[in-house]
A and B are shown apart, each in its own frame.
Chain A
Amino acid sequence: MRHSSLITRSLPSLRYGWFAICAALSTLWLGLGFAALWGGQTLSASWEQRLDHTTFITVPTLDGRSTSNEHIATIMRAVSQLPGSDHVHFLSKAEINTLLAHWSATPWPDPVPAIITLHYNGDYRVLENAVHHLDTNTLILPPNPQSETLQPLLAVLKRGSSLIAGLCFMSGILSNLGALFLSLNTLSLRQDKNLSLLEKLGYPLSKFYRSRAIYFGGAALAGGLVGLGILFTLLTSISSLVRPFLHLTTQSQTWLTSTSITPLHIMVLLFLPFLQGIISALISHRRLLQATRSSL
């Protein structure tokens, strides 16, 4: 206490404020980088899952009678043999009723038409020829053209989120380098005339250096925690803005619970300030002690 008072009176104050700001920025940028990376991936995966690639083949009823199973089986066999067709499936009556409920406001009268679903990547003229060759009354409903337009958008989204994450990581690293520079800058204290005088008079510099290292570690920790607070607030605001796109149904759902952020990711974010604090303290203390030992 006595010595710290002496130091406060006789030495220039170090740039703890700037150091804390660097630590806060570093945490913020790195956190935003992780968020951009995870958020972009999660959003594109979520949209991709919701894309409908299904083609419907509807076989209408004839004279109020259901289509025979043999006829359906023939159509399914013919469709399955086409190149580019996959997941050929004959819908059950319950599935058909659910589907028709979306298409018509009133209940569909029995008998319901037979519906075959499939994923088809080939030429639709070939599919039409193959089906109409067996039954000219069948209707072929290709998937929503939105799925075709969304693919390039998703590619852009993935590239964009990677780019933003990269920029954020770069800014975080630059902020870290700034903090590192400031902590190494304490070595300039070795040139300080007043510190030199105190050393000559027998002032225990190792204690002073230890206390400086603790201050630096504390500043890094405080800055990191502030950065973490800003980051959480920012991400919560952003997730509330993009809530419709993320398909968050309830208000209680946040970016923390809805995306693919795992507890490990949260731990990494929480650990960053502590890591910065420890590293800063160790670097500062070690460098200053090395300088002290080389004095004789």
Chain B
Amino acid sequence: MRELLIVIAFSLGLLVLGIFLGLFIRGIDRKFAAYFQSRVGPPLLQPFYDLEKLMIKQTIIPENSVSWIFRGAPVLALASTSVLLIYVVLPYLYYLHGSSGPFLTAGDLIVILYLLMIPAISLIAGGFASGSPYATVGAQREVVILMSVEVPLAIVVIAVAWKMSQAAGGAHPFSLLTVASNPIWTGMGPMGILGGGLLVLTLMAVVPAETGKVPFDQAEAETEIAEGLLAEYSGKYLALYGLADAVKSLAFTALFVVLFFPHGFTDLTGFRIVIAGGDYTFALDILLFIVKVIIVYTVAITAVRVAMARLKISQAAKLFLITLSMLSIAGYLLIYLDPRISGL
């Protein structure tokens, strides 16, 4: 009972911190984007200002919308992304801290795959309920993206889980704790590392698609379909979607880090930081984790969104269903064959 209370308290704290960190990382993202285009860029706290402003703006519910779905969808999006963030980050923090708890094996990759779908589905429901043709087009595009992204993402997850089932002797191969404590790169030959590289590449293409950023923001294309899914949203509900987007970006980049670069400070250097009898390694680990998340965010989202234009929806679907699926299967095969070939 006491452990459960601790988990709940940690989750709530993590959620509040996650929302702040997510918004802050968005500010960093905009600053970096400005830097890449040799601009000054907005202040780091700009996402907070935007949110503050949206909270005081009038909230319009369109007359021909399905009101309860229109109001419920942003709340559901924020709730599900919050659960996603907790499911991804909390087991990892437990692992970094080296403590055990009832939550440890609960963070399961399959659960995360399904949780990733709920924000997208609530966006789709909200879009269809808006009663605007633009939002309907956006919702249809989101359905296409959702279905095509699922395939390479599932293959990456299966590849990682297969590797874990080899490394951890078959115990909880889908658990995030197993993934974090056995980094995928350990004990790999050159072929396996190449395969892992292909998986990283695939997941890097999946990140902007899952978070709805250029070049895969067809569903929210502001110039062609008037912000698509969000066309009718204003005020508080738009702010909720902004929060959900920030939290989801943070959660997904955190998932990326946990899947492929889970090394803590002790894993990397082999010693712990002890100052005046207190062990500060955990604090340093959290800092390292945040830095890694920011690096992944900058490389996979900011740099890509500055460098590329929006793809057509058919091109995006083809890219995910054919090219990236093939790429991830190739990565899986390379990882699978690696121990067999190195053993020869």
Q: Is chain B found bound to chain A in the same assembly?
A: no
Residues of chain B at the chain A interface (Cβ within 8 Å)? none
Residues of A within 8 A of B (CB): none
